[in-house]
Structure formats: C-alpha cells, structure tokens
Amino acid sequence: MITGRVQGVWFRANTRQKAEQLGITGWVCNTRDGCVEAIFEGEENCVKEMIEWCHRGPPLAKIENVEVKNQSLTNGFDDFSIKY
C-alpha cells in the first residue's frame, strides 16, 4: 500500500512499466481512499528493487509511506496489469 500524492500522477502506468522491466507479475490499482495498492511476484531481488522504486515513484508523486506485507508466492499471475 502506497500513500501520499500517488493518484493522478501516472503512478500505476509507471509501476507497470517498471514491473515489466524487472520481470515481475501482479497488479496495481487506485484505492477509494486515495492510495495505491499493488501486488508483486517475482525473483526476490527484483521485488525488493520494485519496492524501493515505490518509495520514490514517478516524478510527480510525493510518497508518504509504503506498507509492505510479505505473503507466500502463488504464481497466480501471467503478467503485470493495472486494475480499474
């Protein structure tokens, strides 16, 4: 869960682009309360890099907090998508 100025700043599109570069699967979506939620699956070092990127986000974003919850790998995703 990523909080701050994260909606209306191309956060989801940039997240998908970065995830695809790293070979990560999962999804990203806006939440009703103005945050962005994402699930990342992939190689541990790639997921760590993705999470580090979330602390910065795209140029127009202003990140306040990134909450990470580790879960078991499900291999439930074929690609990385934006949920609407």
pLDDT one-digit tens code per residue, 26-70: 999 999 999 999 999 999 999 999 999 999 999 999 999 999 999
Write down the pLDDT at residue 11.
98
The catalytic site residues sit at: 12, 30
Kindly state the average pLDDT of the residues 10-19: 98
From start to end of 1-84, where are the E strands? 2-5, 25-30, 36-41, 62-66, 80-83
Write down the pLDDT at residue 73.
78
Does 79 have pLDDT greater than 90? yes
How many Cα atoms occupy the beta-carbon half-sphere of 45 within 13 Å?
A: 0
Domains and CATH numbers, the chain: 2-83 (3.30.70.100)
Write down the pLDDT at residue 68.
97
